[in-house]
Structure 1
Amino acid sequence: METVTTIRTVNAAAPRTERWYRAVWRWHFYAGLFCLPFVLWLSVTGGIYLFKPQIEGLLYAPFRDVASGPAPALAPATIAARAVAAVPGSVLHKYVLPEAKGDAVEVLVGQGTDEVRVWVHPQTGRVLHQVAEEDRLMRVVFRLHGELLAGNRGSALVETAACWTIVMLLTGLFLWWPRQTGGKLAGVVYPRLRRGRALFWRDIHAVTGLWISLGALFLIASGLPWANAWGDYFRDIRAVTGTLEGVQDWSAGSAADADRRAIADAGMRAMMAEHAEHGAQSAMTMPGGMMMAAPEAMTAPGEKALDAVVAQAQGLHFAAPVEVSPPMAEGALWQVRSQAENRPARDSAEISGDGRLVGVQRFGQRHWIDRAVGYGVAVHEGAWWGLANQLVNLAVLLGLVMLCLSSVVLWWRRRPDRVLGAPAAFAPLRHSWLLVALVFALALAMPLFGLSLALAAALEGAGKRLAPRLGAWMGWRSPRISS
């Protein structure tokens, strides 16, 4: 797969003469030219994020098994109150059930879109640590990987690069397709390591591309639902086709996540305001004219309910970590959700304020599209099959890095003087309905690919007229040649 290279044929086989070969090579070259820095970036950040469980296990080890002695654990409401008090102006967003009895309790409190994770000692109520949720190391890596820390614009840029990486891989497989090999596998499925540097790098590039393309295509496809533009496109299609059910179980981008947190925060504060008003109206007049709040008004909103809900949630034995979220409206139910790394293990439940279990939804009960995406995301994150899954994904990412590095070596060794080195469009390729259909299908499946292709075509057309020297350096087509 000759990404970003002008490599000549280095073996003894006859030059490629297929009608499509030169055009496909040019598509491969330009796709690789754009994608290469993004593929490197996504491979490195994705490789780090693969080992999130191990990394966070080390980072938060000081907050495991902190309880000691016979002292009883505090009630969940008391622990939540300590966490809220540690962050002035905040309200409870989520209470995380501890994985082990002696672990510190994690509580997410927030104000508007900002959330803080607080670790509270289960016996003393002392705040052991607190950190802004979006400043946690693996959250930063997650946003670096999917958004370049640039929000929706970064997500769109990453999505566009992902779309063109698919084009790069598909065209690379076409270029790799063996011919006149005489049944030999050398240079096709394994590299020839002792036939000179030029052949060595060509084979490393082509054979690596063969072995990792399927895995790379899967990682790209399973990551698209997270992208802001494609994710919205996917939800719109599901809404039109009547296949959208409930709340999706994956992130739709940092902006959408922030909106969700703001809505939850506003709902909780509205409930607190209603409770405070109810408390004022329920005040009792004591002898001597002294006013005293009614007993139910003396309890902070959700205190008794949190204790009852947590007790019920612990009996469900959901896969850890399990988050308990307060209702966002009067009369609404508490939400209990497993946030297990392996998404097919995620179940959810609704519990009333008195601790009564209202309903449970298992992963297998969700719509088949949600289940398919859940499995895809679990494999993508290396969580479906433990360490083996992580190592397979890591091998694919290392292969992508090798593709990028080998393409640069090939281009550097064969680069021409004073031009970029795009493959020349020797033979005209007339209008083809097959090409139109393929491009239309890709644009329909990946809208940002279609938009970026139209933009590239417009820039090429304008550049050849306004900056002919730039057009010649880039290797853009002359008006009489189509590829």
Structure 2
Amino acid sequence: MTDPVSLAGNESESLRRRWPSRRTVWRWHFYSGLLCIPFVLWLSLTGTIYLFKPQIDAWLDRGYDNLQVSGSPASVSAQIGAALAAVPHGTLDAYELPVDAHSAVRVLVNQGQELFRVHVHPQTLKVLGVVNDEGRFSNVILHLHGELMLGDGGSITVELAASWIIVMLISGLFLWWPRNAGIGGILYPRLNGGRRVFWRDLHAVTGFHVSMFALFLLVSGLPWTKSWGNLLKQARQLSSETTVHQDWPTGSGNAGTARADDDGTTINEHAGHGMAMADTLTAAIDYRVIDRMVITVGALGLPPPVRIAPPSANAPQWTARSDTQNRPRRSNLVLDADTGEVLSRTDFPARPLIDRIVGYGVAAHEGQLFGWFNQALGVFTTSGLILVSISAVVMWWRRRTIGTLGAPVAQESTRFAIGFFVLMTLLGTVLPLLGLSMITVWLVERLILRRIAPVREFLGLPSVAEGQQAT
């Protein structure tokens, strides 16, 4: 007959081999947090601002709206001519339909590799303002958020940080997992346990309540990153017999234009790219044809902003596009230059499944999928992440031992963590940058850091011999 004590011991031993000790996960959580907290704060602050892009843009453009218009507006072709005259050697990128009769006309004009937004009075044709589109506040915040204003290198940095934030959140949920029957410190912070308990509970409870929303924000942002986004596009291309076009850019190309290809999907969302044919065709284009197109497109009631773009190297016909941030409401049109009629229309439900999934994710990520509540949910998540980060810094500062980094000390008896290793392997496979960085960190720790006694003691690492015994 099997000894119950022996059986219990075997089960306990088996559990230790399948899953790491709490201290092992704590160390993962500590180091990922140490790496990620500056990025969590940065992404939360810039992301919160960008949630309110429609309101911010409307406030900044308030001087171009509610204009005095006493008669009929000038023709659209004349409005475009006035905008082109304001930008030397400029070519038309897109004409944006005015929201109402008292709003300035917005005309997007390319000049070399730059894109300018020209505001024109619809009746008098007076140029009210010429703004470099990349310098608009919302676009600056977008680049700060997605690439740290460092181009593709910044995008890769943000992607790597986001990957480690995922590790931080998952390991944090493991540490949060209840070990007793009480809900104090699990669902709400305990207020009568002293400062140490308060800060611990504030960190853990807040982290639990925002972690799922934060994970969604991180995952929904990955298709826009330089590395992972390009890998996704390449994977889609391998399974497709035609060239894959997608409705979002990867890397630093995050500023939007209206140019679309012949199937109605965006081929360019960055100013100045792919304009060579547009430049050569500009002299031959009769902009009077857009007067007919505006009537046709305006009658469709597409959600603003709605932009009409001339032919280009990638789109040989006139196109129109709703560029609303609520992407499931977007539509793309191909127009007849002679009659102004719609030749074809691509609505969101007709897009490939992956495009629809990403579209819903991005719209929710930007706070535009379901109105003000989406924005409020975004603020709740980013505010929670900021609070989690601040409480983490407070706990670290209060608990750390002077002269050390303050990491949880590695235990010699820690067993090989099969379950956690499998989970991290899966994440490292799905997120290649994370996988490469984990391998790099492991090699640097094993081959360098553990062999330098002062560094080893500062970081709380085991010696080489201790590490071999632990595994």
TM-score by length of 1: 0.86
Q: Which residue of 1 aligns with 2:70?
A: 69
Measure, in 2, the Cα distance between the counterparts of 1:383 and 1:245: 29
Find the aligned partners of 1:194 and 1:243 in 2 and give their Cα distance: 64
Pairing 1:200-349 to 2, within 5 Å after superposition: 200-242=198-240, 247-255=245-253, 261-272=271-282, 275=284, 301-329=285-313, 332-349=316-333
Matching residue of 1:451: 436
Whichever residue aligns with residue 303 of structure 1, its letter is Y
Read off the aligned partner of 1:142 and give its amino acid letter: L
Report whether the alignment pairs 1:137 with 2:122: no
State the alpha-carbon separation in 1 of the partners of residues 463 and 115 from structure 2: 56
Q: Cα distance, 1:77 vs. partner?
A: 1.1
- CA contact under 8 A between 2:44 and 2:386: conserved in structure 1? yes
1:441 counterpart (426, 437, 441): 426
- 1:447–1:19 distance in 2 versus 1, CA, 3 Å: closer
Q: Report if the CA contact (8 A) 2:329-2:348 is conserved.
A: yes
Are the aligned partners of 1:271 and 1:329 in contact in 2 as well (CA < 8 Å)?
no
CA contact (8 A) 2:302 2:322 kept: yes
Match of 1:361 in 2: 346
What is the CA–CA distance in structure 1 between the aligned matches of 2:216 and 2:318, rounded to whole Å? 36
1:178 aligns with 2:163: no
- The corresponding residue for 2:123 is 123
User: How far apart are 1:34 and its partner, in Å?
Assistant: 0.2
Q: Match of 1:281?
A: none
Structure 2 CA distance, aligned partners of 1:123 and 1:151? 40
Q: 1:20 aligns to what?
A: 21
| Higher normalized contact order (CA 8 Å, seq sep 6+, divided by chain length) | 1
Give the % identical residues. Answer: 41
Q: 1:475 aligns with which of 451, 460, 471?
A: 460
Per mean C-alpha deviation after superposition, the further-off stretch among 263-272 and 323-332 is 323-332
Work out which of the residue numbers 346, 351, 366 in structure 1 matches 2:335: 351
The structural deviation recorded for 1:444 is 1.6
**Alpha-carbon distance between aligned partners in 2 of 1:331 and 1:167, rounded to the nearest angstrom:** 42
Provide the C-alpha distance between the structure 2 equivalents of 1:330 and 1:340, rounded to a whole number of angstroms. Answer: 22
Is residue 383 of structure 1 aligned with residue 384 of structure 2? no
| SS of alignment partner, residue 38 of structure 1 | helix
Contact 2:92–2:282 under 8 Å retained in 1: no
Corresponding position of 1:8: none
Whole-Å separation in 2 of the counterparts to 1:208 and 1:430: 30
Q: Deviations over 1:312-331 (max 9, x none)?
A: 21122111110111111499
Q: Tell me the distance in 2 between the aligned counterparts of 1:144 and 1:329.
A: 31
| C-alpha contact (below 8 Å) 1:270/1:329 kept by paired residues | no
Residue identity in the other structure for 1:160: L
| Normalised TM-score (structure 2) | 0.88
The residue number in structure 2 matching 1:402 is 387
Say if 1:43 and 1:401, in contact at 8 Å, map to a contact too: yes
- Tell me the CA shift for residue 19 of structure 1: 4.4
Partner deviation per Cα, 1:209-265 (whole Å, 9 max, x = no partner): 110000000010111111111110111111123398753222323258689543442
CA distance, structure 2, for counterparts of residue 343 and residue 269 of structure 1: 29
Backbone CA RMSD of aligned residues: 2.1
Look up the match of 1:187.
185
SS in 2 for 1:169: helix
Structure 2 portions without partners, runs of 5+ = 1-15, 256-267
3-state DSSP class of the match of 1:262?
coil
Residue 139 of structure 1 deviates from its aligned partner by 0.5
Matched residues in 2 for 1:256 and 1:203: separation?
Answer: 39
Distance 2:417 2:403 in 1: 33
2:287 counterpart letter in structure 1: E
Relative to structure 1, the CA distance from residue 57 to residue 243 in structure 2 (aligned partners, 3 Å threshold; closer, same or farther) is: farther
Q: Is the CA contact 2:143–2:254 (under 8 Å) kept in the aligned structure 1? A: no
Q: 1:10-38 CA deviation, whole Å, 9 max, x = no partner?
A: xxxxxxx9842121111111100000000
Q: Which residue of structure 1 aligns with residue 262 of structure 2?
A: none
Paired with 1:377 and 1:452, the residues of 2 have a C-alpha distance of: 26
Q: 1:306 to 1:189 in 2, by over 3 A?
A: same
Q: Distance in 1 between matches of 2:351 and 2:242?
A: 10
Q: CA deviation at 1:470?
A: 1.9
Judging changes above 3 Å, is the alpha-carbon distance between structure 1 residues 248 and 340 closer, same or farther for their aligned structure 2 residues?
same
Q: 2:294 corresponds to which letter in structure 1?
A: V
Q: Secondary structure at the match of 2:275?
A: helix
2:142 and 2:254 in contact (8 A); partners too:
no
Q: Indicate how the Cα distance of structure 1 residues 467 and 244 shifts in structure 2: closer, same or farther if over 3 A, else same.
A: farther
Residue 368 of structure 1: CA displacement? 1.5
Q: What corresponds to 1:48 in structure 2?
A: 49
Give the aligned partner of residue 106 of structure 1. Answer: 106
Residue among 393, 398, 402 paired with 1:413: 398
Partner of 2:197: 199
Instruction: Could you tell me which runs of 5 or more consecutive residues in structure 1 were left unpaired when the two chains were aligned.
Output: 1-16, 276-300
Structure 1 residues 178 and 466: CA distance shift in structure 2, 3 A: closer
How many residue pairs were aligned?
Answer: 438
